[in-house]
Amino acid sequence: MSKYTLAKKAYKINFNRIDEGYLASEQICYENSIGKAKSKLLRNIRYDDLKLKYSNDNINFLNIPVIRFKEADLYHFEDKIISIRAIKGILEERTRIKELDEILLNETIKYCYIKKRGSYYRPNSCGYTDYLAWAGVYSKEEAVSHAKSCDELVIIPISIENHNKVINETIADLTTRLLS
């Protein structure tokens, strides 16, 4: 990302080029050059008795398969040095909080549903349901409060007209099964 200044380059061992490399755990390091990265990574695996695939040569400084790992690079961000993934997470969380604050400020929204991993909270936060008719109805203040404390929650503003239609349809359906 050109918006942020690169702080440290990431390098890793390409275990696809090592015999039975799938058995090894990932090795990542941060250095300014590939030579320094090779030295550091070689020290990390010096007792692992690894060999190159196909040639069966022992791993040494000249043949250790070290590659750049740009996805793990570290960047300067607000007086911290963190990964681009962490930066994206921070920015997404800020956007989510801003959207929740906008729901609070929107006077046309009175009530919300709360969803977690695709299922609605039931009334009084007692379990989950896949059915809108059985979903709990929460004041926007309560829903936003829940959502700010758990990033897995999604707040869905309720259209009172649509909500009442769903409830009335459910009641009409249930009355067809009343026994006398």
Contacts 24+ apart (CB under 8 A), 77-80: 77/4
- The Cα 55–Cα 19 span in angstroms is 9
- For residue 124, the model assigns a pLDDT of 92
User: E strands, 6-152, where?
Assistant: 6-13, 28-31, 66-68, 74-77, 80-83, 111-116, 119-121, 128-129, 138-139
Q: Say which DSSP state 48 is in.
A: S
Helix pair 84-105, 140-149: axis angle to 10 deg = 170
What percent of the chain has a predicted confidence (pLDDT) above 70? 99
pTM given for the model:
0.69
pLDDT score, position 24: 87
Segment 145-160 shows an average pLDDT of 94
Q: What tokens were used for 17?
A: 């080029």
Provide the mean pLDDT of the chain.
Answer: 93
Q: For the chain, which residues make up each domain, given as ranges?
A: 6-85, 107-175
Is residue 49 over pLDDT 90?
Answer: no
pLDDT of 2 strictly over 90: no
Report whether 51 contacts 57 (CB < 8 A): yes
Provide the pLDDT for residue 1: 47
Q: What is the pLDDT of residues 82-123, one digit of tens each?
A: 998 999 999 999 999 999 999 999 999 999 999 999 999 999
Q: What residue ranges in the chain does DSSP mark as E strands? A: 6-13, 28-31, 66-68, 74-77, 80-83, 111-116, 119-121, 128-129, 138-139, 153-157
Q: What is the CA radius of gyration of the chain?
A: 27
CB contact at 8 A, 40 and 92:
no
